[in-house]
Amino acid sequence: MRAGLAAIASFFLIAALAAQSHEHGTIVGHVTLVRRVRGTQMPSNVYQPRGVNNSDADLIPEIKNVVVFLKGAPFAGPLPAMHEEIRQEREAFVPRVLPITRGSTVVFPNSDPMFHNVFSLSSAATFDLGRYPMGRSRAETFTKPGLVKVYCHIHSHMSASVLVLDNPYFATPDLEGTFTLPNLPAGSYAIVGWHERVGERSEPIQVAAGKSASVELSLPFEDDK
């Protein structure tokens, strides 16, 4: 009896997924970071940072600090809340860039043998989690969409970006710069490539039901070293 019910449930699940694939489309794309001649450095901190050389964040390829998302796409029902983590280790926030859905919670564990702090003065989220030692963590739930810049009161060179989005249609490119956004509602949109020191670069795109669209995004990245 249970096997029969499981088979029926599986049938309806497969049918629902098949129907969704016909009603929704996919975007497959590629992001290129184009280095440009250095000019005036774009500000990334609230106050003047000091130089450090011991951060593992420096080893993370810049393409992993890019977020690709679909702007203005409708999403029916409540947004899926995420539970993510930004670690404090070797005097750096890791990862330095984190995309989440509105209503998600981010935990900030301290892995350093010193006190750290987490605060933001951003319009999308203003908070101060206070100072806490190694082995402890604090958390914040992000209820408004927008860019939230996060800092440490104790170490002025530490910063991270939390990009809070109003739909779940976003991705971080792989090391080759490729990404896929599946199960998108059909329609005309802008697809956006975002980097913390570049801002947004967007291209118009048409998502057709049951089809895959392709796009190339180029970000004029400026190295800050």
**Based on the number of CB atoms within 10 Å of its own CB, is 1 exposed (0-12), middle (13-18) or buried (19 or more)?**
exposed
The residues pairing with 98 across neighbouring beta strands, listed in sequence order, are 162
**Based on the number of CB atoms within 10 Å of its own CB, is 156 exposed (0-12), middle (13-18) or buried (19 or more)?**
middle
What's the mean pLDDT in 42-48? Answer: 40
Q: pTM (2 decimals)?
A: 0.80
CA count, 13 A, side-chain hemisphere, 150: 28
Instruction: Quote the mean pLDDT of the chain.
Output: 84
What's the mean pLDDT in 186-211? Answer: 94
Specify whether the CB–CB gap between 105 and 139 falls below 8 A.
yes
Name the residue type at position 101.
Answer: T
3 state SS of 69: strand
Specify whether the CB–CB gap between 155 and 89 falls below 8 A.
no
pLDDT at 44: 38
Give the rounded percent of residues in the chain with a pLDDT score beyond 70. Answer: 78
pLDDT-based confidence at residue 176 (cuts at 50, 70, 90): very high
pLDDT in tens, 74-131: 898 899 999 999 999 999 999 999 999 999 999 999 999 999 999 999 999 999 999 9
Cα gap 185→20, rounded to integer Å? 9
The residue with tokens 């980097």 is 195
| All domains of the chain in start order, with CATH | 2-219 (2.60.40.420)
Cα gap 217→62, rounded to integer Å? 15
Residue 7 CB coordination number (10 Å): 9
Closest CA to 184 of 98, 72, 51, 92: 72
What's the mean pLDDT in 207-222? Answer: 92
pLDDT-based confidence at residue 36 (cuts at 50, 70, 90): low
pLDDT at 166 exceeding the cut of 70? yes
